Amino acid sequence: MGAYLLLAAVAGLLWVWAPKFSLVAFLAYSAWHFSGDWRKWLSRGWRLCAGATVICAPSLLYPDLVAEYFSVLTGAEATSLVRVLQLLAFPALIGTIFLAARCLRTRPAVTAELAVLALSAVVLPPLVFFLLYFCSLHSPRHLIDTVRGMKPATAAATAAGLTLATVALGALFFVLSPSTQVDERLLRITFIGLAVLTVPHMILIEYFAARTGNEPAPETTPPSFENSSEMTL
């Protein structure tokens, strides 16, 4: 717990000192982290397409809105960053759609997830898409993986403690943040909070899960790629 809070504090200070760098880093490691939602079924190279789709695809139809959000988070103009995301969105989407098609016969549930992900990432407003993806797929899946092997009482106590700490820190950040519109302050709290907490989550939770054997083992040969040269990816 101490290491978790220390890493979160370091990540938070980095956002204060270098918000532009922190945003770019957050987008990059979020794409990597979100790709873990399909680690049970897909190799790393392929599932990175899905993770990149989550981050990049919303910029295709809503570039101005995404640039506005990034500007609120960093206090600087973000048009050039959005253009980079748009360029990356095309190969990410193509890879995700191809992967969905290849999984159709043997992994229809994975196909459905990837198809809905690709469509909603492009069509839905960015915040609506992220809310649906994070709360309905990513968070529940990782919570289940994280508590695997833990006693229910321990899992509940840990979750309650971290939730209370997060709410308290969020409230403090809201009070101390510059006086701007409430929507902008809430946006900062939500996404900078996610960025700060994702760092210890990726480093510690997955590290200890791997050490204790609680991490789900990926299928070394996903059925949709049997006897296929694409598995080298």
pLDDT per residue as tens digits for the range 6-58: 888 888 888 888 989 989 998 998 899 899 888 888 888 888 999 999 999 99
Averaged pLDDT for residues 140-166: 77
* Helix intervals (H) in the chain: 2-17, 19-34, 44-56, 63-74, 79-102, 108-123, 126-133, 139-147, 152-176, 182-200, 206-212
Other beta carbons less than 10 A from residue 161's beta carbon: 11
pLDDT at 203: 77
Q: Which of 79-93, 102-116, 195-209 has the lowest mean pLDDT?
A: 195-209
CB neighbour list of residue 68: distance below 8 Å, 6 or more residues apart? none
- CA–CA separation, 177 vs 185, rounded Å? 7
The answer to whether residues 212 and 149 touch, using CB atoms and an 8 Å cutoff, is yes
Full-model pTM: 0.75
CA distance 172 to 154: 27
Q: Who's near 36: CB < 8 A, 6+ residues apart?
A: 47, 51, 142, 206
Neighbours of 193 (CB within 10 A): 17
Sequence letter at residue 170: G
User: What is the C-alpha to C-alpha distance for residues 53 and 92, in angstroms, rounded to an integer?
Assistant: 5
CB 35 within 8 A of CB 51: yes
Kindly report which listed range (108-112, 171-175, 208-212) carries the lowest average pLDDT score: 208-212
For position 221, what pLDDT does the model report?
A: 43
Q: What is the pLDDT of residues 65-106, one digit of tens each?
A: 999 999 988 888 889 999 999 999 999 999 999 999 999 888
Q: Check pLDDT > 80 for residue 134.
A: yes
pLDDT at 232: 36
Using the predicted structure, report yes or no on whether residue 197 has a pLDDT greater than 90: no
